[in-house]
Structure 1
């Protein structure tokens, strides 16, 4: 994000300054394009978050400051309220119960409840020595694809796609190129053509968000455009995040253009774009309800490196392929590296050393094993970032630094997961850190289990661990294309504490 897209204000922990904070946020929201109603919602949410910091973050009588940072994100505005006050465990606050009578209400938990109702996304981050912050995101009220087309006819969903009505595939000529903003609506409709309204990343149904994410660099969309008609026949994209490698994602081809090799050409185009950008690798998630995605990415040169079990809700469907999932959808992780991989010097957990060494051999990545590692220093604090994706019922944890307080922080996050009824946690541990073997062992005591590795994350090659909250996987239902990945699945299933 460019510097000009961010604005910040620092204020004393005095309620008298709250109107100034709200005036600042109101002006930024108006500049971003929010109407009066949404501006008021944003103000109320920030008022709750800022008042909580002023009243509770610092010892009584002490004067401190806190920051409010506004940052334009694709299609909306993120507001972070940051302080270096007393550590806080949000899981210890009781849930506000809106259905309970007023006589029985204590008011505790009401602020967080209101913020979640007013904003589109809400998350809390423990930043170690840098304190803590809450992140609030509000999206502009842009049209949903469902507002611009008739209600979907789902009558064909179980029987397969509608009869072919487009041009004959052998005679279709098309161009592969980057998406233009006006084509975002066609991309949304192509996603609908493949998934209905079941795709977990809801931004794909908001054309303005797709265009905004491309403009901001969060997404790089490629399209196949029919030369004769200008129709968008297919789409694929690189999706960028702060912590993980760029992901090859949102690969869809409209049903009347399938069988032309469009998906493969789009994937190859994006690989060239990734190399041109200087990326050392990209990754992808391959569904396990059918073998087609796994076969497709293998042709692009991806190699399997792990699993993300139960990663998507069971509501995800594939029209005419797998319309009714019996359980949450699991993915195979695949990585595509560019150029000659550099040698890795890693600390591996002893209990999974052999399987990880085998994975790196299949990835053709040179590996040097370092020592057994050691626990973090007693005076070192953990830097933990946890974000919740409500649509997927998923909590993602990244650890930038391990500290002696790590186990307590993980327990805190698991309490929050259970309280908010989040189905699973995915955690990424940096294998370049000598404390990773100790961390993985402690995490397994809490119910986490190993599911693979993911090279080229922001913190280096990562060990992938998962935690299930009240769910189980029927491993026999997963469709796995390659024998070596099936062997990894057996290894994981035997160590899944929920199995």
Structure 2
């Protein structure tokens, strides 16, 4: 059997990478750019994707990319990891990830995030081996790439690069999430002052049946408007994490939103976003990380009861 070689992406690889995704996922993969080789080439030409491939003989058998929102972005995502079933068990995805994390340092990135599927434990185990710390859950986030009727819930992981810290605002965390938030504070540090907000204070996008809001802060008028939104909507809120977190948690819990952790703010300003969700499907998950398992179980209980936990 020919040995597996890991190398940088070449312009001539686009078609083979697209075909690899089709072989593994059929037409179910949520990020549809992979089905158009011209878009794969375009993303690399724009230097937004930095990919590695695993090659055996003349065939591409594995792929992963480092994705950045812009060429000067200091935060990246390790994404689009795919390995042909015939070559699994050789830790190819982990090897690709290790090299891309080294490349992230060379690009001047401060942190790298990863989204891990919950349909199986393999990507969660890989993220742990690569040194990612799990920070949150994204319920019902993407169309399932495994042919399931229900959307896939993802685990979000973050790894600091070259000792960079992304501190949380120093405060006493509410009892309902104290152990989880204290653990993240110990991993990423704490600070008295936080980066300034950039962009509009309220942003709303729709992704499939999910309504995703990005908020600088909560105030009474905005909370009153949130109350009027249909209860059956799947709403994901990413709220700037501040020293008002305890009050924000209380207010959103009262509106039926469950807290599901943190996500890094990806606009070169650092900082964190608190994740809140309402309208998610009830589901049982067996997760690799016990801290995220506890967060998921608590959120599921809250969503089922429609009640606010003791803050």
Normalised TM-score (structure 1)? 0.53
Question: How many angstroms does 1:407 deviate by?
Answer: 2.0
Question: How many angstroms does 1:239 deviate by?
Answer: 2.5
Which residue is equivalent to 1:288? Answer: 118
Question: How many angstroms does 1:347 deviate by?
Answer: 5.2
The match for 1:443 among 214, 236, 252 is 252
Which residue is equivalent to 1:133? Answer: none
The match for 1:383 among 177, 193, 201 is 201
The match for 2:148 among 325, 333, 345 is 325
Moved over 6 A (4+): none
Which residue is equivalent to 1:336? Answer: 159
Tell me how far apart the structure 2 counterparts of residues 461 and 429 of structure 1 sit (CA, whole Å).
Answer: 8
Question: How many angstroms does 1:388 deviate by?
Answer: 1.4
Tell me how far apart the structure 2 counterparts of residues 411 and 221 of structure 1 sit (CA, whole Å).
Answer: 44
Question: How many angstroms does 1:396 deviate by?
Answer: 2.2
Q: Is 2:136–2:157's contact at 8 Å kept on the other side of the alignment?
A: yes
Deviations 1:132-189 (A, max 9, x none): xxxxxxxxxxxxxxxxxxxxxxxxxxxxxxxxxxxx3xx3231321x22321111111
Question: How many angstroms does 1:350 deviate by?
Answer: 2.8
Deviations 1:254-306 (A, max 9, x none): 22332333211211121112111221211111111111111111111112112
Tell me how far apart the structure 2 counterparts of residues 346 and 238 of structure 1 sit (CA, whole Å).
Answer: 31
Which residue is equivalent to 1:239? Answer: 67
Q: Is 1:280–1:456's contact at 8 Å kept on the other side of the alignment?
A: no
Question: How many angstroms does 1:326 deviate by?
Answer: 6.0
Q: Say yes or no: does 1:489 pair with 2:296.
A: yes
Q: Say yes or no: does 1:176 pair with 2:7.
A: yes
Which residue is equivalent to 2:239? Answer: 429
Q: Is 2:63–2:96's contact at 8 Å kept on the other side of the alignment?
A: yes
Deviations 1:115-146 (A, max 9, x none): xxxxxxxxxxxxxxxxxxxxxxxxxxxxxxxx
* Cα pair distance change 1:330/1:191, threshold 3 Å: same
* Cα pair distance change 1:435/1:354, threshold 3 Å: closer
Tell which structure's C-alpha radius of gyration is larger.
1
Which residue is equivalent to 1:473? Answer: 282
Deviations 1:188-242 (A, max 9, x none): 111112211111111111111121122223332222233x42x222111123347
1:316 alignment partner, SS class: coil
> How do 1:7-406 and structure 2 match up within 5 A?
168=1, 171-177=2-8, 179-226=9-56, 228-229=57-58, 231-241=59-69, 245-313=75-143, 315-317=144-146, 324-325=147-148, 327-342=150-165, 343-346=167-170, 350=174, 352-360=176-184, 364-367=187-190, 383-390=201-208, 393-400=209-216, 402=218, 405-406=221-222
Which residue is equivalent to 1:156? Answer: none
Q: Is 2:112–2:159's contact at 8 Å kept on the other side of the alignment?
A: yes
Gaps of 5+ in 1: 1-167, 318-323, 371-381
Higher RCO, Cα 8 Å, sep 6+: 2
* Cα pair distance change 1:176/1:425, threshold 3 Å: farther
Tell me how far apart the structure 1 counterparts of residues 160 and 81 of structure 2 sit (CA, whole Å).
Answer: 19
Q: Tell me how many residue pairs correspond in the alignment.
A: 296
Deviations 1:9-51 (A, max 9, x none): xxxxxxxxxxxxxxxxxxxxxxxxxxxxxxxxxxxxxxxxxxx
Tell me how far apart the structure 1 counterparts of residues 155 and 116 of structure 2 sit (CA, whole Å).
Answer: 5
* Cα pair distance change 1:369/1:223, threshold 3 Å: same
Question: How many angstroms does 1:351 deviate by?
Answer: 5.0
Tell me how far apart the structure 1 counterparts of residues 220 and 295 of structure 2 sit (CA, whole Å).
Answer: 32
1:496 alignment partner, SS class: helix
Tell me how far apart the structure 2 counterparts of residues 311 and 491 of structure 1 sit (CA, whole Å).
Answer: 18
Gaps of 5+ in 2: 194-199, 307-311
Tell me how far apart the structure 2 counterparts of residues 357 and 401 of structure 1 sit (CA, whole Å).
Answer: 19
